């Protein structure tokens, strides 16, 4: 019998598994705390568990963590880990320290199938979804490694915020994502607030609706364009779920969300989506006006403007700082809270949009990009074409 990985279980699932081996729920709670609160993987060290239970665990279970193949530290304190997840695939996880919080950026897939035009992960292609255990293991490793490195006292947390903004589209891996979120939120686990756990999506409308019912946490949406034509080119998922459907889903999500606004992420691309006219079109969109909007539907929101981080073969450039600031002013003058993301981890390729890892691509992205370079018919739009 293959040993189960206890990192795959939220508390309810762990309690069900414990019942199968003849143990009561309170034993599952004890075990859950040992694993997630204390970072213990050795059952023999779980001293308040009965000897009989420890023997069962040794025979049938394990805490199968991810082992980092590399760890890189930026001059600004950012840490990036590369984890081998087998089959020629590796994922990246990033820790971002700030004065009042420690944020962990977690991956949900090996690669990404969405193929956003400006994202390094999408240019590597897609291999597979991560398991719940592989998602949770990123937090398990980061939290307990950093506690030791920072010399934190018992009960002090290194990670106060989690953002599902690493490699992959989280809502395309829904079945593994939701149990992982429940582990993060559980008071017997990491005890994070729903306000401090954020799922970022490129616009999976049906799954936004499911998340609202199953496990509503903070929501961030990769928007990047004020109209359907441009968003179709930048975020191919928009062809399936256009802006009106996305705005409606965002509005509905707020009925159950822990925050009273949606965060819209907006990558600033030189000459593509960064004009004052496009900023004004965004104001119209979120206020229920304009051709792409749901008439009269206002979506309470904040905008996070992200300076683009160039990578090989992207064919795109970052908007000049003055243009980013002018874009932000248009939104702010319309009463929309707008921030410009501070670039972190540039020197270790850990900034937003740079996570690439290693992927055994099943989607032939590299082949299609080569055809583009060779003038083939499957060309991805160039920056000049996007501007047109």
Q: Per residue, what are the HEC states of 97-132?
A: ECCCCEEEECCCEEECCCCCCCCHHHHHCEEEECCH
- Tokens at 119, concatenated: 């994202």
Classify residue 160 as exposed, middle or buried by CB count within 10 Å of its CB (0-12, 13-18, 19+). middle
DSSP 268: E
Return d(Cα 42, Cα 252) in angstroms, integer. 44
Q: Are 306 and 316 in contact (CB under 8 A)?
A: no
Closest to 204 in 3D by CA, of 166, 249, 256, 165: 249
Catalytic residue chosen out of the listed positions 18, 23, 92, 318: 92
Long-range contacts of range 230-236, CB-CB < 8 Å, 24 or more positions apart?
Answer: 230/272, 230/273, 230/386, 233/117, 233/381, 233/385, 233/386, 234/116, 234/117, 234/118, 234/269, 234/272, 234/273, 234/386, 235/114, 235/116, 235/117, 235/202, 235/203, 236/114, 236/115, 236/116
Identify whether 352 is a catalytic site residue.
yes
How many angstroms separate the CA atoms of 92 and 203, rounded? Answer: 22
Euclidean distance between CA atoms 108 and 178, whole angstroms: 11
Among residues 119, 215, 318, 352, the one annotated as catalytic is 352
From the list 194, 201, 192, the residue with the least C-alpha distance to 215 is 194
CA torsion 352-357-363-366 (nearest 10°) is: 90
Please indicate whether residue 301 is annotated as part of the active site. Answer: no
- Specify which residues 109 forms β-bridges with: 129
CA distance 156 to 144: 11
Instruction: For the chain, give percent helix, strand, coil, nearest 5.
Output: 40, 20, 40
Report, as residue numbers or ranges, the catalytic residues. 92, 352
């Amino acid at each position: 019998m293959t040993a189960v990985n206890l990192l795959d279980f939220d508390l309810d699932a762990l309690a069900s598994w414990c019942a199968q081996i003849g143990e009561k729920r309170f034993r599952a709670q004890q075990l859950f705390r040992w694993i997630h609160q204390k970072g213990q993987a050795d059952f023999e060290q779980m001293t308040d568990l009965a000897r009989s239970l420890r023997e069962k665990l040794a025979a049938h279970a394990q805490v199968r963590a991810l082992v980092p193949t590399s760890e890189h530290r930026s001059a600004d304190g950012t840490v990036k880990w590369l984890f081998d997840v087998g089959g020629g695939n590796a994922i990246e996880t990033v820790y971002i320290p700030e004065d009042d919080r420690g944020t962990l950026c977690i991956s949900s897939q090996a690669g990404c199938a969405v193929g956003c035009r400006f994202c390094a992960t999408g240019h590597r292609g897609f291999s597979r979804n991560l398991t719940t255990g592989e998602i949770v293991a990123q937090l398990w490793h980061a939290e307990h490694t950093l506690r030791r490195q920072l010399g934190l006292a018992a009960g002090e947390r290194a990670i106060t915020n989690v953002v599902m903004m690493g490699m992959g589209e989280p809502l395309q891996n829904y079945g593994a994502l939701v149990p992982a979120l429940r582990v993060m939120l559980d008071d017997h686990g990491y005890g994070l607030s729903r306000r401090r756990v954020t799922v970022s999506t490129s616009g999976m409308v049906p799954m936004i609706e499911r998340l609202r019912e199953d496990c509503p946490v903070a929501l961030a949406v990769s928007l990047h364009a004020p109209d359907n034509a441009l968003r179709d080119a930048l975020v191919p998922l928009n062809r399936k779920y256009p802006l009106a459907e996305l705005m409606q889903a965002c509005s509905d999500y707020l009925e159950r969300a822990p925050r009273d606004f949606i965060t819209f992420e907006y990558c600033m691309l030189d000459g593509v989506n960064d004009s004052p006219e496009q900023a004004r079109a965004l104001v119209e969109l979120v206020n229920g006006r304009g051709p792409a909007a749901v008439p009269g539907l206002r979506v309470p929101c904040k905008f996070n403007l992200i300076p683009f981080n160039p990578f090989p073969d992207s064919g795109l450039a970052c908007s000049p700082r003055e243009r980013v600031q002018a874009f932000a002013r248009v939104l702010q003058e319309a009463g929309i809270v707008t921030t410009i993301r501070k670039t972190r981890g540039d020197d270790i390729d850990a900034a937003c949009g740079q996570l690439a890892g290693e992927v055994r691509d099943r989607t032939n992205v590299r082949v299609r990009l080569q055809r583009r370079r060779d003038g083939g018919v499957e060309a991805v739009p160039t920056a000049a074409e996007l501007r047109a």
